A and B are shown apart, each in its own frame.
Chain A
Amino acid sequence: AQTVTQSQPEMSVQEAETVTLSCTYDTSENNYYLFWYKQPPSRQMILVIRQEAYKQQNATENRFSVNFQKAAKSFSLKISDSQLGDTAMYFCAFIPQGGSEKLVFGKGMKLTVNP
């Protein structure tokens, strides 16, 4: 079965601090794509960062970076210098490369950045 698990339902962090959101997944595929999506309150989901499983180098996008551990099937998101605008639901998701286009999502995690 292809599943994504986000074990932390909720976290809070002080502005300017660093926070790590955890995600594990299960798949028998060797090649796939992993994503973190952000959903601010009352707004649509937007892509934060993407990682291709065949790439060993961890993806980074400005203050956002991932720690991709393929053997452990772990894909955590690190947010550096947290800002109030980072307050949102964060969803970990992946697409197996076996011809499917569907995203398989985790349950999401609510991050609150406090001033």
Chain B
Amino acid sequence: EPEVTQTPSHQVTQMGQEVILRCVPISNHLYFYWYRQILGQKVEFLVSFYNNEISEKSEIFDDQFSVERPDGSNFTLKIRSTKLEDSAMYFCASEPTSGTGYEQYFGPGTRLTVT
């Protein structure tokens, strides 16, 4: 069965450095998402992406964050200058079609540790 994959599984970076988290969504899916979960807290929505543009973003998704689908298969989340509070598990998800209420398929996550 097709799965969403994410790399790396764990990323350690120093404060102020740029990081790129990578995701490969399921191939025929059209909607893409990033969520994050700070340890011990809720999974929070960051951004949704459709038709090569951001369709919705949360207040967390400020100018330090960007997303890209550079080659039609990868979906990346870039954090330009990481802060300690960016330490979290980052989940990518994809969805097959439009319409609210369809299943979002999640990747295994990337654990980002900012030191």
Q: How distant is the Cα of A95 from the Cα of B43 in the complex, in angstroms?
A: 14
- B3-A97 in contact (CB<8A): no
- B100-A101 in contact (CB<8A): yes
Residue-wise interface mask of B (13-48) relative to A, using a CB-CB cutoff of 8 A (1 in contact, 0 not): 000000000000000000101010000011111001
- B48-A102 in contact (CB<8A): yes
- A91-B43 in contact (CB<8A): yes
Closest to B40 in A: A107
> Which of A47, A99, A106 makes the CB contact (< 8 A) with B100?
A99
- A44-B100 in contact (CB<8A): no
- B109-A44 in contact (CB<8A): yes
- B55-A101 in contact (CB<8A): yes
Q: How distant is the Cα of A107 from the Cα of B39 in the complex, in angstroms?
A: 10
Residue-wise interface mask of A (24-58) relative to B, using a CB-CB cutoff of 8 A (1 in contact, 0 not): 00000000010001000011111100101000000
B3, B101, B104, B107, most chain A CB atoms within 10 A: B101
Which A residues touch B101, using CB under 8 A? 33, 50, 52, 95, 97
Which B residues touch A84, using CB under 8 A? none
Q: How distant is the Cα of A91 from the Cα of B33 in the complex, in angstroms?
A: 17
> Given A52-B101, A97-B101: A102 and B108 within 8 A (CB)?
no
- A101-B109 in contact (CB<8A): no
> Which of A33, A46, A101 makes the CB contact (< 8 A) with B95?
A101
Residues of B within 8 A of A (CB): 3-4, 31, 33, 35, 41-45, 48, 55-56, 58, 91, 95, 100-101, 103-104, 106-109
Closest to A4 in B: B42
Q: How distant is the Cα of A50 from the Cα of B107 in the complex, in angstroms?
A: 19
Question: How far in angstroms is the closest Cβ of chain B from A3?
Answer: 9
Closest to A47 in B: B103
Which A residues touch B45, using CB under 8 A? 102-104
- A100-B109 in contact (CB<8A): no
Known: A96-B100, A103-B45. 14 other contacts (CB 8 A): A37-B106, A43-B108, A44-B106, A45-B91, A45-B106, A95-B100, A101-B95, A102-B33, A102-B48, A104-B45, A105-B35, A105-B44, A106-B42, A107-B41
Closest to B101 in A: A33
